[in-house]
Amino acid sequence: MRFLPTTWEKLTDAVAAHVDGTTSGDGGEWLKVGVDGAPAAHTGEFVRRLADALRLRGRSVLVVGTGGFLRPASLRFEYGRRDPDAYYDGWFDTGALWREVLGPLGPGGTGRVLPDLWDPDTDRATRSPYVPLPPGGVLLLHGPFLLGRWFPFDLTVHLRLSPGALARRTEEPWTLPAFARYEDEVGPADSADLVVRADDPRHPAWSGLPGGAPAS
């Protein structure tokens, strides 16, 4: 895969323009974008930039992080607090993401999305109210391990870190085997529509938009 250097500003503008010109692949009234990456890749920062760029284009945007859809501690820590396989397979409530986020934005959906479900600090339900996303709005869902789960995204972006950069920047090194497994089983760089190499957060590089040439 060929990567060309860019800036976060150029990258964000290009992705926002692409999303603004995209139609929903499932025939629904909403667009769904997945931004995949390890916590060390700071997917939330890129998503906030992208949300701002889309709003400037007149699009309603809802940002949801998978960190708000963790399972209760009794399930996450069933095999210990530092089990990488449990982190990969059992920490994130994919069923709730389907039910509360992606399902309502499918064909015939209500557009009412639950922005988060579980607070890991209190280990209790957040009790957040549902948020309506108007027709034509864009969901930006971000977090780790989003690919390979058949989520109905209209665009997927993978913020990629090399193994060395991931090891240096990961605050919980016990999770590293989970990301190695993700590489082996899913191959996110091959699965995503767009890959951003983010080893140096000041100087990203990217693979270009689906069906188009990479930007300079």
Per-block mean pLDDT, blocks of 10 residues, the chain (216 long): 93 97 94 98 97 98 97 94 96 96 96 96 94 97 96 97 97 97 97 96 93 54
Q: What is the pLDDT of residue 212?
A: 63
Q: What is the pLDDT of residue 1?
A: 78
The pTM of this model reads 0.95
Question: In the structure encoding, which two tokens stand for residue 8, read together?
Answer: 């976060």
Query: Quick one: CA dihedral 78, 81, 83, 84, positive or negative?
Result: positive
- Dihedral, CA atoms, 138, 140, 146, 152, nearest 10 degrees? 0
Q: What is the pLDDT of residue 193?
A: 97
Question: In the structure encoding, which two tokens stand for residue 126, read together?
Answer: 């957040």
Q: What is the pLDDT of residue 210?
A: 85
Q: What is the pLDDT of residue 148?
A: 92
> Which among 192, 196, 215, 198 has a CA at the least distance from the CA of 206?
196
Cα–Cα separations (whole angstroms), residue 20 to 16, 50, 101, 151, 163: 6, 11, 20, 20, 33
Question: In the structure encoding, which two tokens stand for residue 197, read together?
Answer: 């190499």
Provide the 3-class DSSP secondary structure of residue 5: strand
